[in-house]
Amino acid sequence: MSSIIQLLPDHVANQIAAGEVVQRPASVVKELLENAVDAGATEIKLIVKDAGKTLVQVIDNGKGMSVTDSRLCFERHATSKIRHAEDLFSLHTKGFRGEALASIAAIAHVELKTKQDQEELGTHLIIEGSKFTSQEVAVLPKGTSFSVKNLFFNIPARRNFLKSDTVEFRHIVDEFERVSMAHPNIGFILYHNGSEMFNLPIGNTRQRIVNIFGGRTNEKLVPVKESTEIVEITGFVAKPEFAKKNRGEQFFFVNNRFIKSGYLHHAVMAAYEGLLKDGCQPGYYLYLEVPPHTIDINIHPTKTEIKFDDEHALYAILRSSIKHALGQFNVAPVLDFDRDNNLDTPYSYEGREAVMPTVQVDRSFNPFTAEDKPVRASSVSAFATPGTSFRKSERQATWESLYTGINTATEEVAEINFESEEVTGSLFNDNEVEQAVYKTYQIHKKYIVSPIKSGMVIIDQKRAHQRVLYEQFLRNITVQHAASQQLLFPLILHYNQNELDLIKEMQDSLVNTGFVFTEFNHDHIVVSGLPVNVAESEVSILLEELINDLQQEVPDSSFSQSDSIAKSMARSLAVKTGTLLSDKEQENMVNALFACKEPDVSPFNKPTFITVSVEDLDKRFAL
């Protein structure tokens, strides 16, 4: 009987390994950038075409590789970072697994150009699907240039699962930001389709964060610094008033490696307890330095998750250090108040006893007597000019004089003849009287109850308004005609590069809903017109939630994008639960809902109303 188990060929094993290492073009960017950092480069260029599907190229000025190393680096389990198993718990570099380059070469066309500083000539390699097709000597500058072309060319199924260029490039930018933030001592440049997207000069951590996320980021940063035997914490947290709905600007770096940790994130949220609105997330850029032997970074293929030896102590230190930083810079509320110097006792009055005020009261004064008494100065000053005198005859009238002639007026009124009170006709016709009976009622500021012929209908006011706004926005985007209200003072809204790219992506759809953009700068936009039903105070919140929704997933087709924009705007602008509606607003809500094409469900496929028939009520009372 023949053997069933057999060893896989190397090229097949490499393709299987690539499934774990290379998930999308951003995975290639991460591996190549980390290799460039480990090579000791001081300047790294990332060149991307078609969101990495056509080309991902990383050029560095590091130490380069010899001819032998340039061949060995594409073999499986080949690495220069570890020699023994114990080295896995004492890592000071990034790329150590030894499968990344072999996996990349198995699913793409790879071109490598490298040269060491002491050598006169470098090495030029070309690999296609794990096969070396060319190797020659070339005149090259110091460093390494690694080009990955036609990713997943021999695995079409994996290529078909890639998202749109916008989504894939957003993932590339995320990896680029993470590596560049961890190494502010290295200059980074990013080109996409020939355009320069980022140019980050060498600087400190604060300058690197500001260069990536815009100039307005500097004013919201609060420095955090703590040094203990367990961990050394540096970095910044954002002030509570700059909290956002999404979790975009949240970064943990452990030993200069970006990680994701829900446990540490909970520690940060605990430090902000009582300072944030519901649903808001703070921004933070925290760098943790721990002894390498106290962490295990080899528990996940992408090395973004880390296991700590003493998580509880780390949690407590991180939470207390952030609380201390927020309190030190007067961000957290305190019981102390600033003392006003104007309230201090003057020096000349110091030591004197307070003099109690005295009040003299004329107990014999009666304002209702008609006796001839002198008029008080306060009364004179209030109603007469200085120098005016009042005689007794002028003040002789008493309160009884106010009622003189009342009898005559009463008699004249009594002689008035009124018209007959007989009703000659109805102001409303019978149909309008019937409609008046069907009045709407609001229950718990959440539901609208309206009677119908068969019973009653109970409407969820929030979902109903979402359906009305959704169809309205979608119609405006499709027809490309919407009313806009011009602002007397245009709004200036600041965003980072990723958010600006998303706003530009959906600019046409937003203009069709009524927005008017007069300027797009590198870190802000200027809005001079708004849709009719959007208040000026809601613009920043609306665009922030819209960006958050689109960052989750940017649709490929324009119709899907318009649908997502309409849904997001409807959700943001819909009347909230707990809002008191007038009778007219309730009536308009009901009429607008049943005028929609699909009034039964909200844009998110949830029911907008339920009906209760009279028979159902009779059954309940028959029990």
pLDDT, tens only, 586-612: 889 999 999 999 899 998 889 999 999
Q: What is the mean pLDDT of residues 432-456?
A: 77
Task: Tell me which residue of 186, 174, 145, 181 sits closest to 57, measured CA to CA.
Answer: 145
Q: How far is CA 408 from CA 76, 143, 163, 414, in A?
A: 118, 114, 93, 10
Q: In degrees rounded to 5, what are phi and psi of residue 350?
A: -70, 130
Give which of 159, 191, 128 is closest to 23, Cα–Cα. Answer: 159
Residue range(s) occupied by CATH 3.30.1370.100 in the chain: 442-610
- According to the 3-state scheme, what is the secondary structure of 350-409? CCCCCCCCCCCCCCCCCCCCCCCCCCCHHHHHHHCCCCCCCCCHHHCCCHHHHHCCHHHH
Q: What is the DSSP letter of 242?
A: G
Write down the CATH superfamily of domain 442-610. MutL, C-terminal domain, regulatory subdomain (3.30.1370.100)
Tokens, residue 95: 């790329």
C-alpha separations of 52 from 5, 162, 194 in Å: 37, 11, 13
Q: What length does the chain have? A: 623
Question: Over 60: is that where the pLDDT of 234 sits?
Answer: yes
Residue identified by tokens 């520690």 is: 267
- The confidence score (pLDDT) of residue 405 equals 59
CATH of domain 205-328: 3.30.230.10
Q: Which residue in this structure is represented by tokens 């958010």?
A: 499
10-200 has CATH 1.10.10.10 classification: no
Identify the residue whose tokens are 């914490």.
233
Provide the phi-psi class of 113: left if phi over 0, else alpha when psi is between -120 and 50, else beta. beta
For 315-355, the DSSP string reads: HHHHHHHHHHHHHHTT-S--S--PPPGGGSPPGGGTTPPPP
Highest mean pLDDT among 211-215, 337-341, 480-484: 211-215
Q: Tell me the backbone φ, ψ of residue 112, rounded to 5 degrees.
A: -120, 130
Residues 6+ apart with CB under 8 A from 218: 206, 210
Tell me where in the chain the CATH 3.30.230.10 domain(s) lie.
205-328
Q: What is the tens place of the pLDDT at every residue in 6-52? A: 676 766 666 565 555 788 899 999 989 988 998 889 999 999 999 99
CA distance 107 to 590: 58
Domain limits, CATH 3.30.565.10, in the chain: 10-200
Question: Lowest-pLDDT range, 111-125, 339-353, 422-436, 437-451?
Answer: 422-436
Most distant CA pair in the chain, distance = 140
pTM for this one? 0.69
- Which one, of 329, 323, 318, lies nearest residue 275 by Cα? 323
Which residue, among 44, 38, 80, has the nearest Cα to 61 in the 3D structure?
Answer: 44
Distance (Å, whole) CA 546 – CA 565 = 7
